[in-house]
Amino acid sequence: MDKHTLDVLDSSKGHGTKQRNKIDQAIVEIVSDSGEGAQKCGQSLGQISAKMGNGVWTVEIIPAEIQPPARSREGASGIRVRFGAKKITNMGDHAGLVVALNEQVLYGRLRQNAYKEGTVLLIENKWATDENPEIRRQYAEALTEFRSEGFDVREIPMETECLKLVMDARKGKNMWVLGLLCYIYDRDMELAEKQIHLTFRKKSQLVIDVNINLLRAGYQWAEDHLDVHYEIPPMKVTDDQVVMNGNEALSLGIMAAGIELCSMYPITPATSASHHLAEHFEKVGGVVHQAEDEIAAIGFAVGASYAGKTAVTITSGPGIALKTEFIGLAVMAEVPLVIIDVQRGGPSTGLPTKVEQSDLTAAIMGQTGDVPKIVIAAATIEECFHFVILARKLAEAFRTPVFLLSDANLATGVQPFKRPQINRDWFSLPIDQSAWKEGIRAFDWSPETGISKRPIPGQRGGMYTLTGLAHDENSKVAYDPEINQRSSEARSRKFAAFQKTLKPPTIHGDPEGDLLIVGWGSTLGAIDEGVEMARDQGLKVSSIHLRFLFPFEPGLADLFARFKKVMTIEINYSDTLGDPMITPENRRYSQLAWQLRARTLVDIECAGNVYGQPLGPGQVLEIIKKQLA
């Protein structure tokens, strides 16, 4: 896939010519120390490309610290931008071209297998003449090493060129680099200048002018000095499109659902959704409450929801751990609530800025006692928007907490999608304050569906005391041994009733074959693309992607029966058979695999890892090949 890119980037072919090579996609990285604006540069490149009609996926490379020591190998901060002539659904495998503001940060990315032989490395050359001899030595050593490993290393005088325009090159170098990339990939400079206006709209005209000059200078320098120049044709998009990251989509989804309250506590990588909400929520009649802790955040949301106000709480793994008791209460007392978990690496504090799909079991089963509830997972950025609306409706219809799982990959990934056409039915209705119908009890569980309607404070005649204790239909504390059994049946039956409304998942590929890959969450794009690659090689593989994790979509066992093998690919931990001590009897499976095995009685295989990296299509292809070997 990026083979094509690499062929053209081969320096032996292009030297001295100014021809534009048509390619169908590119993977570009900009890496630097924190605070050098690499992400702003990459986001701008992504926005410009999206506006030009290219498919785009961007993903941030974030160190755990705000300001790690300069030039540290682990401190790589930056961004990957993948754009192409077709829809792009994931970050891809190896970058074809990298701009590095120092050579040390490249080591961290190399260790993560982000590049391969032939990748073009455009490296800031100011370190070659640094006054510190140790830095000069490091620079020379790194370049020798990179060249010996087959990278196409180019030294670029970024600092020198920027200093012609600004006093402090640290501020502004990113826009010079953007200009450089705009030349290399033949980006529309008018759009690029508009993008700078947008990025710096809160700054003075002087700042905008300086950055536009840097952009133009970068472009000019590249035109004068570089032999790499590509054209990536646009897609034929007829729909109106919007472009945003997954957390922005969650935030807009919260607004579109008519939710009135987001009660949260800061935690990476969920918080940026609340930042977005805090800026805009007021305009649609909502308020963000920053609680004193994670427990209070959900307690506040539960209180608001009990009082009839639609509420969401948004967090990540450690926050879910703290919210556990309240989630149990919301299940027990049937309080509608949307709980968004933007998953990160775990357990415990884990890998705060990295992606993992490790909270599935916690979402489904993580509280004490019997705690059925709905668990859904967004697979795309577009779904981050629409699934909040879905979650809010399900929460109210089934009088239940609903987990919506996202992850760090979706949170910071940016992708264009069809502009949502706002529908009035998405918004929650004003609370019902009419008198409560006489004779209806606070938990009047339907014997068929387990569903009951709840009274809202203010409704005359509906008075009841919600309790986390076992309770009867009147919400009276249960002293009768029958009641707990009966109420548990009702709370469970609701989800069987809900499951009856779901359709079986659609199969990507043939409906039968040698191998079926099952995925969930943010890995959709990578799995689909990996499966396509395998099918192109003649392998009989298909995939399905689950959105409903509890209850499952129906018909899974029947679907699985049409394949010789079924396996999940997940970004969470699983033991590998053949490793020391690991036997079929004691092997621990990836989380979806574990659920599927238990709930379908099919012998499901799995591939899971916890490197903290988004899944790449090449990885999927390797897994498929290994499985079918």
Where on the chain is the footprint of other proteins (CB under 8 A)? 47, 50-51, 240-244, 248, 252, 255-256, 258, 260-261, 263, 280, 282-287, 289, 291-293, 295-309, 311, 325-326, 329, 416, 419-420, 422, 424, 427, 430, 455, 457-469, 476-477
Least spacing, CB of residue 251 vs other proteins, in Å: 10
449 vs 467, beta carbon nearer other proteins: 467
Contact between 443 and 469 (Cβ < 8 Å): no
Give min distance, CB of 425 to other proteins, in A: 9
Residue 47 CB burial class (10 angstroms; 0-12, 13-18, ≥19): buried
- With respect to other proteins, which residue has the nearer C-beta, 56 or 228? 56
Instruction: Look at the block and give the residue holding tokens 């700042």.
Output: 207
Of 75 and 416, the one with the shorter C-beta distance to other proteins is 416
Minimum CB separation of residue 431 from other proteins in Å reads 9
Nearest approach in angstroms of CB 255 to other proteins is: 5
Closer residue to other proteins (CB): 163 or 291: 291
Cβ contacts of 563 within 8 Å, gap of 6 or more = 512, 513, 514, 515, 516, 542
Residue nearer to other proteins on the CB measure, 175 or 244: 244
Contact indicator for 464, 442 with CB cutoff of 8 Å? yes
AA identity, residue 339:
I
For the chain, the straight-line distance linking the first and the last C-alpha, in angstroms and rounded, comes to 22
Residue 579 CA to residue 588 CA, distance in Å, equals 12
- Of 119 and 487, the one with the shorter C-beta distance to other proteins is 487
- Segment (H or E) for 545: strand 541-546
Minimum CB distance to other proteins, residue 537 (Å): 35
- Residue 115 makes CB contacts below 8 A (sequence gap 6+) with 94, 95, 98, 106, 109, 121, 151
3-state secondary structure of 390: helix
Least CB distance from residue 305 to other proteins, whole Å? 8
- How many Å separate Cα 517 from the centre of its chain? 20
Give the position of tokens 């509608």. 336
Rounded to a whole number of angstroms, the minimum distance from the CB of residue 243 to other proteins is 5
In the numeric block, which tokens belong to residue 536? 């192109």
212, two tokens: 């536009």
* Residue placing its CB nearer to other proteins in the complex, 49 or 343: 49
How many C-beta neighbours within 10 Å does residue 310 have? 24
**Nearest distance, CB of residue 392 and other proteins, angstroms:** 13
Rank residues 424 and 503 by Cβ distance to other proteins and give the closer one: 424
